[in-house]
Structure 1
Amino acid sequence: MARLSGLRLIMEDIATSMGSATGREWLNLGIGNPADIPEVSDTWRRMTAEALDDSFGAVSCQYGPSRGLPTLIDAIVGYFNRHYGWDIGPQNVVVGPGSQMLCFIAATLFTGPGEVRDTKLVLPMTPDYTGYQGLSLVPGGVAGVEPILQRQDERSFRYLFDMPAVERLTDVGLMLLSTPSNPTGRCAAPDEIRSLVSAAEAHDVPLMIDNAYGAPFPRIGEVTTPPLRHDRVINVFSLSKTGLPGERLGFAIADERYISPIVSCMANSTLHAPQLVQAALARALNSDVLDSLVALEIGPFYTQRRKFVKSLLLDRLPADIAWRLHEGEGGMFFWVWVDEEWFDDLALYEALKARGVFVVPGRHFFTEPEHSRGLGLHTRQCFRVSVTPDADTITAGVEVIAETLGDMRAGSMRIRDNR
């Protein structure tokens, strides 16, 4: 926890480079922020202003309960019971300062040294959100299960869960995955979720599902599989991708046996999540404003933007290079695999940086990229492209990526010929 992970070093490098006083124009396709959608920003500004006028003294000038504001807890309970037919109560909900903090608390509570055995946080499929790899206080406390790699057509591929490998594990304390996935955009299908639940039951551990890009909000993608209510599942939801990443607000829903210790950990560490934004979210849930934003603004925006970026990549990346896109159903990114022995993701990162473009190298989304058992070079042959910058920035950046890949290939051919 006292040192930056590989990807955080990359993001720090991007921020430092873009913030330097060189006057250089940068094209940042590595950005993880949600897109700037004016209608979304305006709505949150209005919701926050209303909360400010109605309850500033009560929520910003006083401490509150560690579980979350009662008005928000009630709004969450009512929303999920109304929309999904669940039967949850306040005891099943906790609000935290961002979903990542809730994941960290769960990892701290349910994994690590134990009286009977030491356990790990297990990512049942990598690549997955690189922030998960910093959630353990124990060195080596996070393990990832490599996927089965399946080539589709000439320009696409897909990862599949290696369920036998998940089932064979002996040191599981908590399983965690994002769906749709960051970075691939892959949505776990209902039958895959059921298989993971069965594995969690066999290991006698919880399964934590991070719905940061999924249903009910922001619901970015073609697949809108509802979250699963199950006594083994801890569902985590975030406000970040609905337009409020800076406010750090998320919440978890699960059985009381999981939620109660998380509430206690909140009380012992950070007291409670920021309360003014909690009041704004309660208003948005009770009035169905958030559902309207998803249906009318957020969903349509990302549907069109994903189509645009996919078409751009297919049209502009070199035809004589064996590259593929992961078949993703949602999320804010495209995951590109350059299936060539000469390709290296960090080399691409440095070459693009020299030309004023940023992408995110892919190796940091794998837990052991240098010691892959079955994927070989693949863990160092991928990179992530964001769809959230403006269309002109994306177009110009993809042009530079295409040129750079061509130059890398030509350089590799010259080295090979000189041998």
Structure 2
Amino acid sequence: MAQRVRELRAAGKKVISLLLGEPDFPVPAPLQEAAIAAIREGHAPYPPVAGIPPLREAIAAYYHRRYGLPYQGAQVVVSNGSKQAIYNALLALLEPGEEVIVPAPYWVSYLPLIQLAEARPVIVPTTAETGYKLLPHQLEAAITPATRALILCSPSNPTGTAYTPTELHALAEVLEKHPQIWVISDEIYELIRYEGEAFSPAQLPALYERTVICNGFSKAFAMPGWRLGYLIAPQPLAEAATKVQGQTTAGANLIAQKAALAGLTGNLESLVAPMLEAFRARRDALYTYLHTHLPETRPYLPTGAFYYFLDISAFLGRQTPSGQPLTSADDVAEYLLQEGVAVVSGSAFGSDRHIRLSYAVALPEIEAGVQRLTQALRALQN
């Protein structure tokens, strides 16, 4: 869809894009300065496969400070983005034919990454009524002798909802009966949270020794193009993930690592706070607009990340002004694109009755985009 937007814009069509999960803020100045200083050092050797020791120690210290988790630097593997961290974890954990439970909606890359690891994703649908969160009885029903891992993303892409400590405790009670199952906890949005307590599955004693945390710097530090992520795991798994990475990409970009180190060892809260407040204002404005003008989409207030996952069921089965029937989320996304606003079809996330809007763009762009979206949906015919 992003390529389609570029093509339409090149042809002179005005398209407002609410597609990408890419913050529209500059990289914080201390990180820029650290990167420039690293370049000016003029020395750029191959970095250690698992990351430079000061950054690994800083990541461990951050998780100890924020979550009380007693990690050591040796348990951290710095990677080329959080996607690689997830893939490293899957390759280190899984044997061919094993199963990974994936609550839906899910991030678009989970299924392909599991399949590349020659394992099988087991998709468990969730609903708006439960905040698009996996329930204990659903987890229990999905477990088989082949189950090896559960992927959780909190706050979630695409829904923006997050698990509470109580909800994670309930899932942990199920997993306690199945000690062969690991939790891969995708925490890339953990600093972009508006309400509620930040909580990791690794904080639960029953799960600490079988949780792999996957995180990165793309979202909270607004540096997606720098490609820097990491995993934290029990040391044997961290060592296995290091071996995997050593035979694929080797170490992550040295300049990006030194920039990230400056972010983690500086005043982290002051770096993130302005962006977080801007996202909160956009979220609230978008909710007010949707609640007023498109209540059929069942708008809700996301607790984190920067997405709305809108229910378009009420508009399926209708026709465009030109007579084209809309029978799926893909149809709706294509129609909206032709009307000048780009969104992501929910089919990419495992739901054919939703579309995803990103509010990682400036508020005037968001307002113009949802106005076009509303006009386009209101123009549909029964």
Decide whether aligned partners of structure 1 residues 198 and 266 sit closer, same or farther in structure 2, where only a CA change above 3 A counts.
Answer: farther
Give 2:263's match in structure 1, choosing from 284, 306, 309: 284
Q: Report the equivalent of 1:70.
A: 53
2:304 to 307, 322, 330: 330
Aligned equivalents of 1:294, 1:385: Cα separation in 2: 22
Match of 1:6 in 2: none
Which secondary structure state, in structure 2, belongs to the residue aligned with residue 225 of structure 1? coil
Q: Report the more deviating stretch, 388-397 or 235-244.
A: 388-397
Q: What is the aligned partner in structure 1 of residue 16 from structure 2? A: 27
Deviation string 1:43-93 (CA, Å, 9 cap, x unpaired) is 43223223334x441xxx211211110121122233333444332212211
Residues 1:219 and 2:218 are matched in the alignment: no
Give per-residue Cα distances to partners, 1:220-244, cap 9 Å, x unaligned.
Answer: 3223413334112111111000211
In the other structure, the counterpart of 2:322 is: none
Aligned to 1:334, the other structure's residue is in SS state: strand
C-alpha distance in 2 between matches for 1:88 and 1:139:
30
Tell me the equivalent position of 2:92. Answer: 109
Equivalent residue number for residue 81 of structure 2: 98
Q: Which residue of 1 aligns with 2:138?
A: 165
TM superposition shift of 1:138: 5.8
Match of 2:328 in 1: 344
2:37 to 50, 61, 69: 50
Residues 133-152 of structure 1: pairs in structure 2 closer than 5 A: 133-135=111-113, 136-137=115-116, 141-150=120-129
Q: How does 1:295-314 map to 2 (within 5 A)?
A: 295=273, 297-314=274-291
Which of residues 238, 246, 254 in structure 1 aligns to 2:225?
Answer: 246
Could you say which residue in structure 2 is the equivalent of 1:400?
A: 372
Among 328, 332, 340, which residue is 1:356 paired with? 340
TM-score normalised by L of structure 2: 0.88
The aligned residue for residue 272 of structure 2 is 294
Give 1:336's aligned amino acid: L
Identity of aligned residues (%): 25
Contact 2:164/2:197 (8 A) holds in 1: no
Distance of aligned partners of 1:393 and 1:109 in 2 relative to their CA distance in 1, 3 Å threshold: same
Q: Secondary structure at the match of 1:145?
A: strand
Residue 13 of structure 1 pairs with residue 43 of structure 2: no
Q: Equivalents in 1 of 2:119, 2:181: separation in Å? A: 19
Cα distance in 2, alignment partners of residues 68 and 400 from structure 1: 45
Give the whole-Å Cα distance in 1 for the aligned partners of 2:193 and 2:65: 21
Query: RMSD of aligned C-alpha atoms?
Result: 2.2
Matched, 1:89 2:109: no
Show the counterpart of 2:110.
Answer: 132
SS at match of 2:283: helix
Task: Kindly state the Cα deviation for residue 176 of structure 1 after the two structures are TM-superposed.
Answer: 1.0
CA distance in 1, matches of 2:118, 2:39: 43
Q: 1:169-190, CA deviations, whole angstroms, 9 ceiling, x for partnerless residues? A: 2132221121110011110111
- Structure 1 residue 338, shift from structure 2 partner: 2.4
1:312–1:66 distance in 2 versus 1, CA, 3 Å: same
Question: 1:316 touches 1:398 (CA, 8 Å); kept in 2?
Answer: no
Deviations 1:263-317 (A, max 9, x none): 11111211111111111111222223x332123x122121111111111222332
Q: Secondary structure at the match of 2:360?
A: coil
| Conservation of the 8 A alpha-carbon contact between 1:324 and 1:339 | no
Q: What one-letter code is carried by the residue in structure 1 that aligns with 2:124?
A: V
- Mark the CA change 1:56 to 1:187 in structure 2 (over 3 Å): closer, same or farther: farther
**Residue type of the alignment partner of 2:184:** M
* Equivalent position of 1:120 in the other structure: 99
The alpha-carbon deviation at position 41 of structure 1 amounts to 4.1
| Alpha carbons of structure 1 residues 86 and 41: separation in structure 2 relative to 1, 3 Å | closer
User: In structure 1, what residue type is equivalent to 2:281?
Assistant: Q
Query: The residue matched to 2:24 in structure 1 has which SS?
Result: coil
Is residue 326–residue 337 contact of structure 1 (8 Å, CA) maintained in 2?
no
CA separation in 2, counterparts of 1:80 and 1:160? 24
* Unmatched runs of 5 consecutive residues or more in structure 1: 1-9, 151-156, 367-378, 414-419
Aligned position for 1:190: 165
Q: Deviation of residue 148 (structure 1)?
A: 4.3
The count of aligned residue pairs is: 362
Question: Using the alignment, how far apart are the partners of 2:42 and 2:137 within structure 1?
Answer: 53
Helix, strand or coil at the partner of 1:269: coil
Structure 1 stretch displaced more, 88-97 or 218-227:
218-227
Q: Is the 8 A contact 1:95 1:251 kept in 2?
A: yes
Task: Please name the residue that 2:321 is paired with.
Answer: none
| In 2, Cα distance between equivalents of 1:26 and 1:42 | 31
Aligned-partner SS, 2:100: strand
